[in-house]
Structure 1
Amino acid sequence: MLTEETKSIIKSTIPVLEEHGEAITSAFYKHMFAEHPELLNVFNKTNQKLGRQQTALAQTVIAAAKHIDHLEAIIPNVNQIAHKHRALEIKPEHYPIVGENLIWAIQHVLGDAATPEIVDAWTQTYGVIADVFIKMEAALYDEADWKDFAKFKVVAIKQESPDIKSFTVQSDAVTVKPVKAGQYITVKVHPDGEENDALRHYSICSVDITNGLKFAVKRDVAGEEKGMVSNFLHDNVKVGDEILLSAPAGEFVVEADADKSIVLISGGVGMTPIMAMLEDEIAKGRDIKFIHSAYNSEAVPFKDEITKYHNNDKVHFYFNYSETAGRLNKAKLTDIMNGDEEIYMCGSVGFMEAMLEVFNAMDIDRSQVHFEPFGPKMSITI
């Protein structure tokens, strides 16, 4: 339990954290990996190089400081991060390492401004937050379908769009239980020439596991930093090969009341978990509005699956092609939605931020909006 004095000190550091947060987290990661290079087998290198992980951690720390009187306010985000930690096999023994290096980074960046009182307050606060994560993740480990990473054989590969492939896998090593629409698996590979393992989360695109577990992968070639795992899967993995997966994870699932209409909205490869939701909710007889934004029609994945639902009067499809029609905006969505639906959406961080701004302009309550970005969630302002 944190004392009122400790909380007061933490709140007094908010302006400093807002100014130097990313410098602190950048120093933290650099120092931690130098001291514990084995952790490079866990952390996403692309997110590190592009600064996404640093931004996400900085915003997590700032959010904790701002809500220090009521830490339960950030529990939804903590829960999402905990799911990712479980999927990556983050264990309790990792937390003291993170804490030690985070405190070092605060002292390193702030210098004399990091008084003993501030260092002690953040040490205590980190301990409380770490304990929340450890307890939450312990429950997730207990619920997981299997432990650690298990071998799966690739039984089918399909080119869903020019840059997206789906992979269907089966395992003799573990039993795959029914999955929840919106969940993801984590793939672990070790590309030739690399010193470390590479791990990446990929959304499950179907709740039907009759022929195996199916997930989709977009080849990531954006900018100078290419996605190590996605390119490895696209270029090297063939039917008959084995890959390592951890058990399904994630809390991006439809929880709306059975009689509530929902909007499923996606951008690019964000359609992957949305397809699983579409399949599951159609089976339940729910009224659905399905909105997808892509550069053009050629970029739309899962065309075969979408086609089979076109005659279903419970689902209405809307496609927006930015090449010719520009981006989704308030005018377009106002024509489609009535504003009372529960919204489930997925896409890149940029897409999510743009949609959240549109929903704010439409006066849609944030409690109606449920989302999963392809990138660290806390890098989106909450």
Structure 2
Amino acid sequence: MVSPASRPYIDASVPVLREHGVTITRRFYGNMFAAHPELKNLFNMGNQASGAQQQSLAAAVFAYAANIDNAAALGPVVNRIVHKHASVGIRAEHYPIVGQHLLGAIKEVLGDAATEPLINAWAEAYGELADLLIDTERHLYAKAGVQPGQLRDMRVAEVRQQSENVRSFTLTPMDGEAAFDFKPGQYISVSVSFPDGHVQLRQYSLSDAPDADYLRISVKREPAGHETPQGEVSNWLHDNVQPGTILRVTHPFGEFTPDTESDRPIVLLSAGVGITPMISVLKRIAQVHPQRQVVFGHAARDAGHHPHQEDIKAAQAAMPQLKVATFYEHVAAADQAEPGFMQVEALPDWPRHEAEVYLCGPIGFMRAQWKNLLTAGVPSARLHREVFGPEMLDYLD
């Protein structure tokens, strides 16, 4: 709990962070990487180049300032952060480095407005947040039975083209032990070392039910955009990985874990490559409760960009109460799909006040579906989401 003396300065920072947050975080990252270039290996430099990481951190700092005494609001944010940190191997000794450069960036950007009492208040607040994250991450590493940054060698057993831009990779352990256990919805980080010596880690959702013999990930090839570079790791995986390739991966992490073990109705809605964790969920349900009522909705550009269609057909054959709805922006005559974007009214009916609804996809999809589901009468407590990439914490407002 931040002291009464510091609290007014934190409260006063809220409008300042709204106005200057991204400028502060840009300065923070620039200064930190200049002083500690080795830390670039822990950050997604593609998101750095696009500005997404700076915006995400600014949103997180703002959320912390605005809800510093609201544990219920901060809990889900902290949980998401610690799982991401564990997936890239953040350690306790990294936090003083971050704190030093974050406070330094606040001073640089705010100038004379960054008074000593304000900086001291933020030093106190950051220290409390760091202690919380360090302690939570320590317990998470211990529960997983791994050290921060620990990697495991996995051999690629199969490569399969799931759609025009998504390829799946089946990985088997090289140490003779069982594959990692995980909860459907979780992800692993894949570590890639490039010829110039730099290393990048990327998180990819596991796209099959848990199995002692293997893991499977599905990777979308990310092209360059108007303001974003092409996906460095995703393109490398598509261009270089074949059966027999050795990949180094982390233990599975992630707090987005839909309920697969009960027999209550469930709704799984996704768009684009957001289908990958939903396939893991669906295949697990088919194993343990094939009679369960499941609505599976997916939106894609067209049939050619719709991955894991074979997995969905197999689930339909095994699950008599599975209802599937597909939406394509561009529909061909032979497609069994609704035209256009996903519409709640075009989904199969489900008990709105009983079923848990899980969403995964791009932020635009998430924003639209969240609001549409609320309008359709789905209680907000029944809605759960996973966003790929840096998250703007206020995107549902």
Q: TM-score range by the shorter chain?
A: over 0.9
Distance 1:235 1:145 in 2: 33
* Pair 1:345 & 2:359 matched: yes
Cα distance in 1 for residues equivalent to 2:54 and 2:102: 12
- Once the 2 structures are TM-superposed, how far is the Cα of residue 327 of structure 1 from its aligned partner? 1.3
Cα 1:238/1:257, change in 2 over 3 Å: closer
Report if the CA contact (8 A) 2:184-2:210 is conserved: no
Tell me, in whole angstroms, the C-alpha distance in 1 between the residues paired with 2:300 and 2:154: 31
Moved more, 86-95 or 361-370: 361-370
C-alpha distance in 1, partners of 2:45/2:393?
Answer: 16
Q: Secondary structure at the match of 2:217?
A: strand
1:4 shift after superposition: 1.7
Query: Tell me, which stretches of 5 or more residues in structure 1 are unaligned?
Result: none
Aligned: 1:20 with 2:10: no
Offset, 1:222: 4.1
Corresponding residue number in structure 2 for 1:201: 203
Q: CA deviation at 1:5?
A: 2.3
| Correspondence for 1:42 | 42
Q: Secondary structure at the match of 1:3?
A: coil
- Could you tell me which residue of structure 1 aligns to residue 307 of structure 2? 301
Alignment of 1:73-112 (within 5 A): 73-112=73-112
> 1:231: which partner in 2?
235
Determine the structure 2 residue equivalent to 1:186: 189
1:3-51 CA-to-partner distances (Å, cap 9, x unmatched) read 1221121011111111111111111111110111000011001111111
Mapping of residues 45-60 of structure 1, within 5 Å: 45-60=45-60
Report the CA distance between 1:260 and its aligned residue: 2.4
Check 1:301–1:145 CA distance in 2 against 1; reply closer, same or farther (3 A cut).
farther
Residues 157 and 239, structure 1, Cα contact 8 Å, conserved in 2: yes
Residue 141 of structure 1 corresponds to 141
Point out the more displaced range, 307-316 or 102-111.
Answer: 307-316
Aligned partner letter, 1:23: T
Tell me, yes or no, if the aligned pair for 2:271 and 2:300 is still in contact at 8 Å: yes
Contact 1:349 1:380 in 2 (8 A): no
Cα separation, partners in 2 of 1:36 and 1:146, compared to 1, 3 Å:
same
Tell me if structure 2 keeps the 8 A contact 1:183–1:253: yes
Matching residue of 2:335: none
The whole-number CA distance in structure 1 between the counterparts of 2:58 and 2:114 is: 17
Alignment equivalent of 1:242, drawn from 230, 239, 246: 246
Deviation at 1:353, TM superposition (A): 2.0
**Structure 1 SS opposite 2:136:** helix
Identity of aligned residues (%): 37
| C-alpha separation in 2, matches of 1:80 and 1:115 | 32
Deviates more, 1:29-38 or 1:217-226: 217-226
Pairing partner for 2:164 from 162, 165, 169:
162
1:292 aligns with: 298
Residue 283 in structure 1 maps to residue 287 in structure 2: yes
1:315 aligns with 2:322: yes
* Aligned residues between the structures: 380
Whether the 8 Å CA contact 1:64–1:71 is kept in 2: the answer is no
Instruction: Report the CA distance between 1:196 and its aligned residue.
Output: 1.4
The letter of the residue matching 1:318 is: A
Q: Distance in 2 between matches of 1:135 and 1:106?
A: 26
Asked if the contact 1:145–1:177 (Cα under 8 Å) also holds between the matched residues in 2, the reply is: no
Distance 1:208 1:256 in 2: 12
Aligned match of 2:219 in 217, 220, 226? 217
> Offset at 1:372?
1.0
Could you give the per-residue CA deviations for residues 229-278 of structure 1, whole angstroms, max 9, x where no partner exists? 10010001111111110101111112388342110011011010000101
What amino acid sits opposite 2:315 in the alignment? Y
Contact 2:179 2:212 in 1 (8 A): no
1:81 CA drift (Å):
1.1
Amino acid at match of 1:127: G
Shift of the 230–257 alpha-carbon distance from structure 1 to 2, 3 Å rule, reads closer
3-state SS of paired residue (1:199): strand
Decide whether aligned partners of structure 1 residues 342 and 222 sit closer, same or farther in structure 2, where only a CA change above 3 A counts: farther
Q: TM-score w.r.t. structure 1 length?
A: 0.95
Deviation at 1:145, TM superposition (A): 5.0
Letter in 2 for 1:53: Q
Paired letter, 1:178:
D
Alpha-carbon distance in 2 for matches of 1:205, 1:133: 28
2:268 aligned counterpart, secondary structure = strand
Give the Cα separation in 2 of the matches to 1:152 and 1:256: 26
SS in 1 for 2:252: strand
Instruction: Say if 2:63 and 2:393, in contact at 8 Å, map to a contact too.
Output: no
| Inter-partner Cα distance in structure 2 for 1:144 and 1:172 | 19
Letter in 1 for 2:215: L
Deviation at 1:150, TM superposition (A): 1.4
User: What secondary structure, in the 3-state scheme, does the structure 2 residue paired with 1:323 have?
Assistant: coil
Is residue 189–residue 202 contact of structure 2 (8 Å, CA) maintained in 1? yes
**Gapped runs of 5+ residues in structure 2?**
332-338
Q: Deviations over 1:128-160 (max 9, x none)?
A: 011111011001111225440111111111111
**1:352 to partner: Cα distance:** 1.5
Kindly provide the CA deviation profile for residues 50-101 of structure 1, in whole angstroms up to 9, marking residues without a partner as x: 1111111111111111112224421111111100100100000000000111
2:182 and 2:252 in contact (8 A); partners too: yes
Q: Are the counterparts in 2 of residues 86 and 140 from structure 1 also a CA contact under 8 Å?
A: yes
TM-superposed CA distance for 1:378, in Å, is 4.1
